[in-house]
Structure 1
Amino acid sequence: MSGSPFDSLPPELPVYPLHEQVIFPHMTFPLFVGREHMGIVEEALRKNHLLVILTVLAVDPITGREQYARVGTLCSISQILRFPEGGCKIMLEGRNRVRLINTRQLTPFVMASVSLIPDRENRNSIAQALMQSIIALLRVAQSLGQAMPDDVNSMVGRLDEAGQLADILAVYLNMEVKDQQRLLETLDPLERLKEVYLFLTSEIQKMQSRGQGEGEVSRKAARSQKENLLREQLKQIQNQLGEDDPQQAEIRQFRKIVENGEMPKVVRSVAEKELARLERINPSSPEYTVARTYVEYLCNMPWQRGTADVLDIDRAQRVLDEDHYDLVEIKERILEFLAVHTLKASLKGPILCLVGPPGVGKTSLGRSIARSLGRKFIRISLGGMKDEAEIRGHRRTYIGALPGRIIQEICRAGANNPVFMLDEVDKIGQDFRGDPAAALLEVLDPEQNDTFTDHYLDVPFDLSHVMFITTANVIDTVPPPLRDRMEVLRLPGYSDEEKLQIAFKYLIPKQKAENGLQAHPLEFEEDAVLKIIKDYTREAGVRGIDRKIASVCRKVAKDVARGAAAAVVISAGQVEEMLGPRRYFSDVAAEEDRIGVVTGLAWTESGGDIIFIEAAAMAGRKELILTGSLGGVMQESAKTALSYVRANHAAFGIDAKVFEHSDIHIHVPSGAIPKDGPSAGVTIAASLISLLTGRPARRNVAMTGELTLTGRILPVGGVKEKVLAARRAGVTTVLLPERNRENLKELDDQILCEMTIIPVGSMTDVMAHILIAETEHKPHLFVEHPSVLLDPRPGS
């Protein structure tokens, strides 16, 4: 370890702060000093020309105080050149590493107490071998483009001390300031040399990778130039041979379509601009594919191309009758459209909304309408659709942009006047991606869909010739603005007789064909099909019946495939053998008449259904308890019914004291199924009156209607569905609001003959038909002592 060249240092030396730079010992370097730092230089000249160079690591943003590195370099000023305008240039020579002890702030510079760090010499064999390796790596780096001054090269070759070589290379290898400061603070020369070796190795690898990348770029550029040259030569050869370039042939084909005059003027202008742009784009560019796809859509859209309508009303009648049983109102509406179209050539397509429970034939009816008109048929499902772009399309700024489903399907159909079915319009979703129902407003509005603009096409397309048909299970969930643009046609459920006809005319032949039984003489007895309808399905439509018939056909097909004796005629007994025990029973016929239990009728999206409303009274404090997953509307109906009964207790022979000391509990069984709707008021009131008068209610009498506080019975919807549900459940009498009398015209004569349907105008009429003969004693009532229950039975 060598000694210091200084016998002693002044107790304090001026500090010159350096930003983004580190000074090493054994180096000579110039430093330009500004006027603001001249005080440091003057103080150094008074201190034997010595000053300390410290690297600034950070600056306090609040106080502006600088944070210095703990190890710096002691330098001496060998020359000074002063400038007339102030400031100077000094030549510094690095002497020794010094360690900062403390600093003292003076205006306008810092004085510091430092201690010398003696230099360590390291000339052993390991250091010498490492120095030779570093010099060899330095030559490799220079061959790859590393710049190094000539005098430094000559100096490096003469050095025999490891620490000095590491310090010099740290400056000229463009190391970062933090790495240079770490080297300055590393006192072991061998460790500093190892750091330089690792850094130089890493730099060489980076330069080699960069050289390979540049070479690859050069090769690709040369290949691209070569491809362009070959492409031009290929064009010349193709021209001489009379052949054509595929891209150019495609562009010419597009241009021919544009010039044939089918496109509207605005669309043609856009298409010509895009074609001109397409010709300038290199076919290998990704942009070429995007532009080509857009031009292809513009050229393939049926702007003025449609199918000719078959204006034959008799033929349309036959087609509709062949495909669907009953549905008189729907068929009549289609024939009206054809009749008007026969008299008027240009006719905007209607927007029909087919509303009905599942399985009644809404979707298949769309195909029949298209077949009767001779038009192409398109169907898309809107169930769960949440993205508005599914309707309006994506803008072409998005990657992978496409037109909306409306434009895509019309382009695929190749006609501007198809029958377009939008299935499940009542199940459209909505989230942050937009509101598809709002986007459908422009599509379905006859006043504005003649200029429908898809975001992708960005040019108007005429949708007024399209016949839109929407389907829904319930119309209530369809947004009112969208509902306003549609003509609602209701498809009620089928009666058992209608299901029987549909099964023999459509379902059985279809399932025999689908299960490979065309050649097998398979027949169904009428009793067998009726057993399937009544004992194995309970629905408004025929989808479940279709599945059960398919199950029977599959079992027969299995026997035929095995070569066993297969059934030829399916009887009611064989149905039970094939399908197992019956699944449904008559809910009404299996029960007895009870007090406080009344049969009601409900209308759901799956069709009509019966519900039982039960009421019970118990000692309490005038509370009304509602259970059975009742919605807000039914809860309000229950409160209204109770208020009506309390207000008219005398008319029904109810003791008023029962309301003072008892709780009323109203329950609708099957609590796991949510229930709601404005048609249960009459049923709840009847249940309460039966409970509080102690008179059982007839189980085979069902009712529907909404009750007001004044006793008026309001009309309800879904009359046919409810009556059919009552018939399926074994109900013999149905009570309907008086104002629903006109709806009885929708019912078949056979239903009217089999069932007793009574219009009622007040609760008095209702109770006259539902309550069994009055008993001798009063009902269970609570009197002054709530804990005492009076039993109306004799002998109590």
Structure 2
Amino acid sequence: MSQTYPLVCTKGVIIFPDQEIVIDVGREASLKAVENARDNYEDKVVLFSQVKLQQENPTFDDIYHVGTLCEIRHVRKFENFLRIKFRGLDRVELKEWSKGSLSDMGTVDILHSYRQDEVEEVALVRMIAGAFEALPHVEKFLSKELMIELSKGIGADVLSDKAVQTFPLLTERKQEYLETLGINDRLEMLLADMEKEKRMSEVEQKINETVKERIDQGQKDYYLREKMHAIREELGDVVEQDKDAEQIRKRLDENPYPDYIKKKVKEELARYEMLPMASGETGVIKTYIDWLMDLPWWQTTQDNEDLSAAQDILDADHYGLKKVKERIMEYLAVKQMTNSLKAPIICLVGPPGVGKTSLAKSVARALGRKFVKMSLGGVRDEAEIRGHRRTYLGALPGRIIQGMKKAGTINPVFLIDELDKMASDYKGDPSSAMLEVLDPEQNSLFSDHYIEEAYDLSKVLFIATANYLENIPPALRDRLEIIELSSYTDIEKVNIARQHLLPKQLLENGLKPSQLKISDDMILYLIRYYTREAGVRQLERTIATICRKTVLAILKDKKKSITISKKLIKEWLGNEKVEYGKKEKKDQVGTVTGLAYTSFGGDILQIEANKFEGKGNLILTGQLGDVMKESASIALDFIRAHAKEYKIDPKMFEKMDVHIHVPEGAVPKDGPSAGVTMTTALVSCFSEIPVKANLAMTGEVTLRGNVLPIGGLKEKSLAAHRSGIDTILIPKGNVKDLDDIPEEVKESVHFIPVSTVKQVLNAALVQ
């Protein structure tokens, strides 16, 4: 039988029979319904939940049609709403929604729950009671009253409704419980929801534990640091230590340091924080941490990909040096093609002043990389390369790591200067330490004693320089790509002076090009008679002197412009310093012009031989090294063995002492290329046949009279050319090296290949 009551729509609130709930009622239609219920319907009202909560004026189709008949238990008035306590009485089904004279009215039928299988009902109640106990934090889902009722054996009907009231379910799910009349059906629904809640609780617990571990560790660290901070304050220690530590941690978090470096820094930081500020070790640890964090670990510069621009930079900075420039351009091209390339270890070998160091700077400029330099001249201590152990007082990283810190990137151009000037003593062998630095297969894990962690040097473009290749240990030389820079010819020096040295000195001395006029002939005169060198360093100093004297003349003597002449050069620089064309003026007995290759380039040596009465002794003077002494002995023995062939009386060797001298006795000399020169000098001395003055020779001789090839032919040829010699005897094995000789030298010097001492003597002695 249908009954009619005032109707109230709720937003997302479901009320079950025997449930008391407080609801704020504010809509005008709902306020009228409450007032009508209190006045005319013995505080009875029907509540139905809206399907869509945002609707302000729902209709019949916008609400669930199963609701609850409720009794108004208490009303509290506020300014714009009523706060009402409702008590649920019965389930009802809405049949009709009508507009009454006082309020909206709902015609409803009372719905009654019905029991199903009794055995199943008892089993379900037991299972639910057990499931409640198994739920973590059961108090969230059970009120005290329900727990008491459960212990007393609450009825299934009441249990199914009361348990749902506090269970965390969606509105749609609670509406399903309200609409389900079968008690066992509701109990099964409840059991399924409890199992779901249990699984969710387990997942939540797992997530909470993970989060808690992270938070706990952070809180623990924070707590310990704060505690340590407080203890230090009590002891009067400076709290600057804590600020340093905080800044270091912040820097670690904000930058992509490698994981092993972060771990190492945190370990050292923990030690740093534990020590009192007055401890001497705090400074050591802080310095170590600073080194670790200041080193470049990920910072790089972008390489210049424009090959034409790179070529232009190299050409603008240096005249000639074709091979070196080609090698650099090859490196750039391959890197651009592959987008990744292990940096080669290039070694520029040549005499002083030919531009090795400045070329390395130009390479850095062409690539767009940072440039750092390390000079190895006189380095004897291995710690200079690898650093000191941190246990030593005043320990520091090696110069490689110091250079990387200075560069600030992991891919600079790193110049290792004077590679051939390293020495060894009881402190270790630095050249062996350089093996790891200059080996492309090893330097990705370079180990510095101070840093202790592996450092990657594989992206660094190392450029080494040396004056004399033979002074570099063979094992180290094997790891280098050798590029030789030879001496400059006079014409090359004129071009270098005109294009580079003169503009540079004019700028440095504040002169305009119009204020100093110097012709190419005058530059050539300076080169030949005021400098004697393989490179252009002395030439630059000479030009600088002329520029300074020009400035003085302009300011003191009020001259507008200076034109350089031979007379002015002699007035400013003094008489000629060098004798150009330094060779013997006439053919002489026992005097032969030899060619030498020194660390300062090529040079000519006058080797003199003389004989006098004695007991057959060999006297050597001129600070000769072991190799040249052996060459002299071989030369003398060869002549004694072939005395008759050269019309020399064999008895002379027993009655005569022989003296071989190489002038400039204060200068040490050594090398395997004086054998033919000494042999020729001795044959000339004993046979009294003069040697041609306009001829020079180089080569080593064997006891059988064979001539062996030598090194440094280009340097020696340039030295002979500078000295005005027009014929050079060279070993036949060196003919292949003639391709490297400049054309201007080939045009004025005649090269004669020889393979035996007989050929040497035929060409050198005046017939």
TM-score by length of structure 2 reads 0.67
Pairwise CA distance, 1:231: 7.3
State the alpha-carbon separation in 2 of the partners of residues 616 and 395 from structure 1. Answer: 59
State the alpha-carbon separation in 2 of the partners of residues 747 and 226 from structure 1. Answer: 79
Matched, 1:690 2:681: no
State the alpha-carbon separation in 2 of the partners of residues 424 and 704 from structure 1. Answer: 27
Cα deviations by residue, 1:648-668 (Å, 9 ceiling, x for unpaired): 223333333333432222111
Pairwise CA distance, 1:519: 7.1
Matched, 1:428 2:433: no
Matched, 1:299 2:293: yes
**Map of 2:375 onto structure 1:** 381
State the alpha-carbon separation in 2 of the partners of residues 566 and 622 from structure 1. Answer: 70
**Map of 1:480 onto structure 2:** 474
State the alpha-carbon separation in 2 of the partners of residues 446 and 387 from structure 1. Answer: 23
Pairwise CA distance, 1:246: 5.9
Conserved in 2, the CA contact under 8 Å of 1:341 and 1:347? yes
Conserved in 2, the CA contact under 8 Å of 1:527 and 1:572? no
Matched, 1:531 2:536: no
**Map of 2:363 onto structure 1:** 369
State the alpha-carbon separation in 2 of the partners of residues 742 and 316 from structure 1. Answer: 32
State the alpha-carbon separation in 1 of the partners of residues 561 and 657 from structure 2. Answer: 61
Pairwise CA distance, 1:315: 1.8
**Map of 1:748 onto structure 2:** 742
Q: 1:230 to 1:647 in 2, by over 3 A?
A: closer
Gaps of 5+ in 2: 1-228
State the alpha-carbon separation in 2 of the partners of residues 632 and 411 from structure 1. Answer: 44
State the alpha-carbon separation in 2 of the partners of residues 358 and 253 from structure 1. Answer: 48
SS in 1 for 2:463: strand
Which one of the candidate residues 600, 604, 618 is aligned to 1:606? Answer: 600
Pairwise CA distance, 1:282: 3.9
**Map of 1:28 onto structure 2:** none
Pairwise CA distance, 1:559: 2.0
Which one of the candidate residues 419, 430, 436 is aligned to 1:442? Answer: 436
Pairwise CA distance, 1:507: 0.7
Matched, 1:490 2:484: yes
Identity %: 48
Specify the code of the residue in structure 2 equivalent to 1:228: E
State the alpha-carbon separation in 2 of the partners of residues 751 and 558 from structure 1. Answer: 39
Conserved in 2, the CA contact under 8 Å of 1:525 and 1:572? no
Cα deviations by residue, 1:669-724 (Å, 9 ceiling, x for unpaired): 12121111100000111111222222211111000000111111101101111011
**Map of 1:500 onto structure 2:** 494
Pairwise CA distance, 1:247: 4.9
The aligned runs of 1:79-478 (5 Å cut-off) are: 228-229=233-234, 247-260=241-254, 262-478=256-472
Specify the code of the residue in structure 2 equivalent to 1:328: K
RMSD: 2.2
Cα deviations by residue, 1:732-763 (Å, 9 ceiling, x for unpaired): 11111111111111111111111112212222
**Map of 2:727 onto structure 1:** 733
Pairwise CA distance, 1:563: 5.2
State the alpha-carbon separation in 1 of the partners of residues 430 and 586 from structure 2. Answer: 51
Which one of the candidate residues 668, 676, 680 is aligned to 2:670? Answer: 676
Pairwise CA distance, 1:258: 1.8
State the alpha-carbon separation in 1 of the partners of residues 274 and 232 from structure 2. Answer: 17
State the alpha-carbon separation in 1 of the partners of residues 670 and 526 from structure 2. Answer: 30
**Map of 1:655 onto structure 2:** 649
State the alpha-carbon separation in 1 of the partners of residues 417 and 560 from structure 2. Answer: 40
Which one of the candidate residues 512, 515, 518 is aligned to 2:509? Answer: 515
Cα deviations by residue, 1:587-639 (Å, 9 ceiling, x for unpaired): 64562211111111011111111001111122222222222211111111111
Pairwise CA distance, 1:408: 1.4
Conserved in 2, the CA contact under 8 Å of 1:403 and 1:457? yes
* Structure of greater Rg: 2
Specify the code of the residue in structure 2 equivalent to 1:426: D
Cα deviations by residue, 1:261-285 (Å, 9 ceiling, x for unpaired): 6222222211122223333344454
Pairwise CA distance, 1:226: 12
Pairwise CA distance, 1:434: 2.2
State the alpha-carbon separation in 1 of the partners of residues 631 and 381 from structure 2. Answer: 38
Matched, 1:594 2:599: no
Q: 1:450 to 1:377 in 2, by over 3 A?
A: same
**Map of 1:550 onto structure 2:** 544
State the alpha-carbon separation in 1 of the partners of residues 344 and 602 from structure 2. Answer: 29
Matched, 1:576 2:570: yes
Conserved in 2, the CA contact under 8 Å of 1:417 and 1:466? yes
State the alpha-carbon separation in 2 of the partners of residues 500 and 590 from structure 1. Answer: 27
Specify the code of the residue in structure 1 equivalent to 2:233: N
Moved more, 633-642 or 249-258: 249-258
SS in 1 for 2:515: coil
Conserved in 1, the CA contact under 8 Å of 2:528 and 2:580? no
Cα deviations by residue, 1:16-35 (Å, 9 ceiling, x for unpaired): xxxxxxxxxxxxxxxxxxxx
Pairwise CA distance, 1:248: 4.2
SS in 1 for 2:752: strand
Conserved in 2, the CA contact under 8 Å of 1:311 and 1:341? no
Conserved in 1, the CA contact under 8 Å of 2:515 and 2:560? no
Q: 1:588 to 1:695 in 2, by over 3 A?
A: farther
Conserved in 2, the CA contact under 8 Å of 1:595 and 1:695? yes
Pairwise CA distance, 1:566: 5.7
TM-score by length of structure 1 reads 0.65
Specify the code of the residue in structure 2 equivalent to 1:691: C
State the alpha-carbon separation in 2 of the partners of residues 229 and 522 from structure 1. Answer: 76
